[in-house]
């Protein structure tokens, strides 16, 4: 008897339910149906509002090509074989937009972050750390989600295990001194810069961007590798043995130069 | 409205279910504690790596697993051998393809209490320490992400990993479980422990007692750095050794004043941990005591504790007798310390 009653109730309920108007019940969807009482899975959500940060490696006015010959400021023939960079705490209008981004130029011709969610609006000023902030620099790289830019899965080759900390950037290549040798760059230069004292804040207060709702707004920066060897006050001389650092104490002079010069190589691409 | 009788039935039923749920929880069953004796300091354990039987057992297997090296020829246990107090008794350790490392392999016994790792102290935790030998070119020359990938089809590891850390085997699990195992490696049952901490007057010889008194006098001052009960103060010192090209602590801090400074090692189990010093330059305790007796070379960074001691031959023997009273053979017989693959 009880079973019969339950079956009847269930049948009535399902009939009542199936009589409801079906449609998209999510108010955020572009096809939201305010009359719909039952969601039919048809909701189409608008595209998210995001930014995509692109750091385009350049050599002077052209896009950098790995393994291609260039003549640097001191007249040496050079080739780049690897360029990698970590930035943290990207802020627009002094608001944190993303906590970390990792760029690996050996993986492609451009270095673009995945799309970063952001509130639409007008933003003035951009800043980020070149490298990893102090609190996270010596933290466990295995603690992150495998997709996180600082995770050991993504940036494992940008992490020192003997003296816990991240490599902020790697610039590797070959050179031929004075362009007078064999003509083919054969000596290696290896710049791996890290450690808290060499981290720099990069900022441009004149930067501004309008982030449109439901669109991906690109933020284009360039990393001019020709400027990695000099600034107004410093010059790196490959001829003086300044071709290697793992940020060790014996390379302190080179570490300081690189740390001071590198921020000048990053600029906003003017539209 | 249910009667009182049926209400009490509900409660009884609910209570029963709760009891079953609690009894079936795996976490509680698996929890364990490190066997820290009363006379040792409190052991600091990271919140996300509290000891469980499965974590330690998983770590033990990974510690002795040669799959952690690029060519599958060595494990952590190759340079940290249980029967040698987790050293390898080589001057410098050998990595894959017989590559010679830069430093002498330290004992892992009581390393749970270390406040930094490696002779230069560049790594702050046991968990992070796991990365270095796996990646180091002269050791395993591999990559922990690749290790996890290589072991991903091992069902036993995956089962333990899920039980221990509620996730598949990955770098997080490898680092934590090996650290959990290493924290379990303790040594505190030497004759000196029996004598000094348990009041067993006859546990060490008269000569050793005299050596202990010399060891702790202000004039000789070994105790300044080798502080009981761990017989290290975790500090970094230049002790007047000739320079072998290893800049020591300076490699980490970049400071000239740290050149040639190395972390104070423990003096427990010296019977097993020879040869001595960061580069294994001294084969015997006699050589070590002679070095400290001489005061070593002059160097601007040398510790003011290191001065010529003018010890008599008798006093040297007494100090060595004391040092030998810090040997603890018990670790050799602890099943949980041994290589599970042998």
CA distance B231 to A237: 49
ipTM, two decimals: 0.83
Task: Tell me the nearest-neighbour CA distance from B318 into chain A, angstroms.
Answer: 38
Contact A195/B254, CB-based, under 8 Å? yes
Which one of A147, A249, A250, A251 makes the best mutation probe of the B interface by having the most chain B beta carbons within 10 Å? A249
Reported as a pLDDT band with limits 50, 70 and 90, residue A178 is confident
Q: Is the pLDDT of residue B13 over 60?
A: no
Task: Tell me the nearest-neighbour CA distance from B198 into chain A, angstroms.
Answer: 39
pLDDT score at A96: 95
B171: Cβ contacts below 8 Å, ≥ 6 apart: A141, A142, A152, A153, A156, B144, B145, B147, B148
Per DSSP, the three-state class of A119 is coil
Query: Which residue, chain included where needed, has tokens 């899920």?
Result: B162
How far is residue B208 from each of residues B32, B203, B224, B312, B321, measured CA to CA in Å? 36, 10, 19, 15, 5
pLDDT score at A16: 54
- Choice among A53-57, A124-128, B66-70, B183-187 with the minimum mean pLDDT: A53-57
Residue in B132, B170, B254 closest to A161 by CB: B132
Question: Chain centroid to CA A106: how far?
Answer: 14
pLDDT score at B18: 46
CA distance B86 to B65: 15
| B176: nearest CA partner in chain A | A142
Per DSSP, the three-state class of A110 is coil
What backbone torsions phi and psi does residue A190 show, to the nearest 5 degrees?
-140, 110
CA distance A91 to A63: 26
Tell me the average pLDDT across A249-265. Answer: 95
In A108-150, where does DSSP find H-type helix?
Answer: 134-137
The torsion defined by the Cα of B121, B122, B125 and B129, in degrees rounded to 10, comes to: -110
Which one of B102, B131, B247 makes the best mutation probe of the A interface by having the most chain A beta carbons within 10 Å? B131
| B256: nearest CA partner in chain A | A249
Provide, rounded to the nearest whole percent, the portion of chain B with pLDDT above 70: 92
Q: Is the pLDDT of residue B111 over 90?
A: yes
Query: Which residue, chain included where needed, has tokens 């010192």?
Result: B237
Over residues A238-250, the pLDDT tens digits come to 989 999 999 999 9
Task: Tell me the nearest-neighbour CA distance from B102 into chain A, angstroms.
Answer: 12
pLDDT score at B5: 44
Reported as a pLDDT band with limits 50, 70 and 90, residue B22 is very low
Reference B107, options B333, B304, B337, B299; nearest CA is B337
CA distance B316 to B305: 18
Task: Tell me the nearest-neighbour CA distance from A89 into chain B, angstroms.
Answer: 24
What's this model's pTM, rounded to 2 decimal places? 0.87
Residue in A143, A161, A249 closest to B131 by CB: A161
Over residues B26-81, the pLDDT tens digits come to 456 899 999 999 999 999 999 999 999 999 999 999 999 999 999 999 999 999 99
Q: Per the structure block, which two tokens stand in for A1?
A: 């008897």
Q: Which residues of B touch A162 (CB under 8 A)?
A: 118, 122-123, 132, 136
pLDDT score at B20: 45
**Burial of B25 per CB tally in 10 Å (0-12, 13-18, 19+):** exposed
Contact A249/B255, CB-based, under 8 Å? yes
Peptide bond before B275: cis, by omega within 30 degrees of 0? yes
Reference A178, options A230, A244, A237; nearest CA is A237
Q: What angle do CA B246, B251, B255 make, to 5 degrees?
A: 115
Q: Which residues of A touch B103 (CB under 8 A)?
A: none
Reported as a pLDDT band with limits 50, 70 and 90, residue A14 is low
| A144: nearest CA partner in chain B | B172
Query: Do A174 and A81 meet the contact criterion of CB atoms below 8 Å apart?
Result: yes
pLDDT score at B3: 46
Tell me the average pLDDT across A181-195. Answer: 88
Query: Do B188 and B326 meet the contact criterion of CB atoms below 8 Å apart?
Result: no
Which helix H or strand E contains A259, and what residues bound it?
helix A252-261
pLDDT score at B29: 80
Contact B250/A143, CB-based, under 8 Å? no
Which one of A161, A165, A197, A250 makes the best mutation probe of the B interface by having the most chain B beta carbons within 10 Å? A161
Residues of B with CB under 8 A from a CB of A: 118, 120, 122-125, 127-128, 131-132, 134-136, 143-145, 170-172, 175, 247, 250-256
Per DSSP, the three-state class of A32 is coil
Which one of A151, A152, A155 makes the best mutation probe of the B interface by having the most chain B beta carbons within 10 Å? A152
Task: Tell me the nearest-neighbour CA distance from B8 into chain A, angstroms.
Answer: 25
Tell me the average pLDDT across B274-292. Answer: 98
Residue in A141, A143, A164 closest to B124 by CB: A164
Task: Tell me the nearest-neighbour CA distance from A109 into chain B, angstroms.
Answer: 26
Contact B175/A142, CB-based, under 8 Å? yes
Residue in B132, B172, B252 closest to A142 by CB: B172
How far is residue B170 from each of residues A137, A153, A204, B125, measured CA to CA in Å? 21, 10, 40, 18
Q: Is the pLDDT of residue A198 over 80?
A: yes
Length of chain A (residues): 271
Which one of A164, A166, A167, A251 makes the best mutation probe of the B interface by having the most chain B beta carbons within 10 Å? A164
Averaged pLDDT score across all residues of chain A: 90
pLDDT score at A21: 83
How far is residue B262 from each of residues A148, B12, B289, measured CA to CA in Å? 36, 64, 18
Tell me the average pLDDT across B106-111. Answer: 98
CA distance A11 to A17: 10
Q: Which residues of B touch A163 (CB under 8 A)?
A: 120, 122-123, 251-252
Rg (CA), chain B: 24
Task: Tell me the nearest-neighbour CA distance from A169 into chain B, angstroms.
Answer: 19
| A160: nearest CA partner in chain B | B132
Reference A110, options A263, A259, A219, A264; nearest CA is A219
Over residues B302-324, the pLDDT tens digits come to 999 999 999 999 999 999 999 99
Reported as a pLDDT band with limits 50, 70 and 90, residue A179 is low
Contact A195/B175, CB-based, under 8 Å? no
Q: Which residues of A touch B255 (CB under 8 A)?
A: 249
CA distance A133 to A119: 24
Contact A161/B134, CB-based, under 8 Å? yes
- Choice among A102-116, B23-37, B223-237, B254-268 with the minimum mean pLDDT: B23-37
Provide, rounded to the nearest whole percent, the portion of chain A with pLDDT above 70: 91
Which one of B126, B171, B255, B301 makes the best mutation probe of the A interface by having the most chain A beta carbons within 10 Å? B171
Task: Tell me the nearest-neighbour CA distance from A18 into chain B, angstroms.
Answer: 34
Peptide bond before B178: cis, by omega within 30 degrees of 0? no
Task: Tell me the nearest-neighbour CA distance from B263 into chain A, angstroms.
Answer: 14
Which helix H or strand E contains A3, and what residues bound it?
helix A2-18
| B169: nearest CA partner in chain A | A142
Q: Is the pLDDT of residue B16 over 50?
A: no
Question: Chain centroid to CA A25: how far?
Answer: 37
Reference B326, options B224, B164, B202, B194; nearest CA is B194
CA distance A176 to A50: 44
Query: Do B320 and B274 meet the contact criterion of CB atoms below 8 Å apart?
Result: no
Q: Which residues of A touch B171 (CB under 8 A)?
A: 141-142, 152-153, 156
Which helix H or strand E contains A56, and what residues bound it?
strand A50-59
**Burial of A84 per CB tally in 10 Å (0-12, 13-18, 19+):** buried
- Choice among A174-178, A196-200, B137-141 with the minimum mean pLDDT: A174-178
CA distance A86 to A77: 27
Tell me the average pLDDT across B253-265. Answer: 96
pLDDT score at B177: 98
Reference B182, options B234, B249, B117; nearest CA is B117
Contact B144/A146, CB-based, under 8 Å? no
Averaged pLDDT score across all residues of chain B: 93
User: Euclidean distance between the first and final Cα of chain A, in Å?
Assistant: 78
Q: Which residues of A touch B122 (CB under 8 A)?
A: 162-164
């Amino acid at each position: 008897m009880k079973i019969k009653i339950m079956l009847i109730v269930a049948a009535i309920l399902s009939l009542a339910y199936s009589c409801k108007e079906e449609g998209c019940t999510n108010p955020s969807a572009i096809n939201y149906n305010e009359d719909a009482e039952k969601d039919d899975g048809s909701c189409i959500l608008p595209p998210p509002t995001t930014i995509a940060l692109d750091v385009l490696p350049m050599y002077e006015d052209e896009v950098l090509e790995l393994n291609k010959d260039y003549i640097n400021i001191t007249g040496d023939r050079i080739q780049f074989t690897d360029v990698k960079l970590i930035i943290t705490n990207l802020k627009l209008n002094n608001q944190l937009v993303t906590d970390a981004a990792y760029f690996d130029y050996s993986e492609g011709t451009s270095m673009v972050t995945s799309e970063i969610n952001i509130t639409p609006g007008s933003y003035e000023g951009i800043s980020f750390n070149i490298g990893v902030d102090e609190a996270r620099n010596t933290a466990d790289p295995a603690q992150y989600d495998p997709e996180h830019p600082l995770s050991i899965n993504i940036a494992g080759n940008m992490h020192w295990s003997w003296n816990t900390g991240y490599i902020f950037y790697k610039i590797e290549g070959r050179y031929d001194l004075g362009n007078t040798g064999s003509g083919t760059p054969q000596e290696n230069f290896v710049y791996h810069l890290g450690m808290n004292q060499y981290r720099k804040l990069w900022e441009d207060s004149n930067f501004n961007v309008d982030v449109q709702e439901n669109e991906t707004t690109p933020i284009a920066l360039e990393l001019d590798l020709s400027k990695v060897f000099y600034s107004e006050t410093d010059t790196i001389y490959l001829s003086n043995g300044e071709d290697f650092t793992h940020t060790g104490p014996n390379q302190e002079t080179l570490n300081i130069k690189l740390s001071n010069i590198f921020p000048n190589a990053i600029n906003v691409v003017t539209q | 409205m249910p009667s009182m009788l049926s209400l009490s039935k509900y409660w009884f039923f609910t209570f029963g279910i709760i009891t079953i749920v609690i009894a079936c929880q795996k976490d509680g069953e698996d929890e364990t504690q490190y066997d820290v004796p009363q006379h040792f300091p409190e052991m600091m354990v990271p919140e996300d790596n509290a000891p469980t039987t499965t974590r330690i057992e998983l770590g033990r297997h990974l510690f002795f697993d040669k799959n952690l090296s690029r060519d599958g020829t060595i494990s952590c246990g190759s340079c940290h051998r249980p029967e040698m107090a987790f050293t390898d008794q080589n001057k410098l350790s050998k990595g894959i393809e017989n590559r010679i490392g830069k430093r002498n392999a330290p004992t892992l016994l009581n390393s749970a209490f270390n406040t930094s790792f490696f002779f230069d102290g560049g790594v702050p935790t046991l968990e992070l320490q796991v990365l270095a030998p796996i990646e180091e070119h002269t050791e395993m020359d591999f990559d922990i992400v690749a290790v996890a990938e290589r072991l991903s089809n091992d069902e036993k590891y995956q089962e333990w990993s899920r039980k221990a850390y509620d996730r598949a085997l990955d770098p997080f699990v490898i680092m934590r479980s090996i650290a959990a195992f290493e924290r379990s490696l303790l040594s505190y049952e030497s004759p000196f422990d029996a004598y000094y901490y348990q009041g067993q007057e006859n546990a060490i010889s008269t000569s050793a007692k005299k050596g202990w008194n010399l060891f702790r006098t202000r004039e000789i001052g070994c105790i300044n750095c080798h502080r009981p009960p761990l017989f290290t103060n975790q500090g970094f010192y230049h002790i007047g050794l000739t320079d072998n090209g290893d800049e020591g602590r300076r490699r980490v801090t970049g400071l000239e004043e740290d050149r040639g400074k190395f972390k104070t090692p423990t003096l427990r189990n010296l019977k097993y941990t020879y040869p001595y010093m960061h580069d294994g330059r001294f084969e015997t305790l006699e050589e070590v005591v002679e070095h400290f007796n001489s005061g070593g070379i002059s160097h601007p960074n040398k510790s003011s504790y290191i001065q010529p001691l003018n010890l008599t031959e008798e006093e040297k023997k007494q100090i060595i007798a004391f040092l030998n009273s810090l040997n603890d053979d018990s670790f050799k017989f602890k099943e949980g310390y041994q290589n599970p693959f042998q």
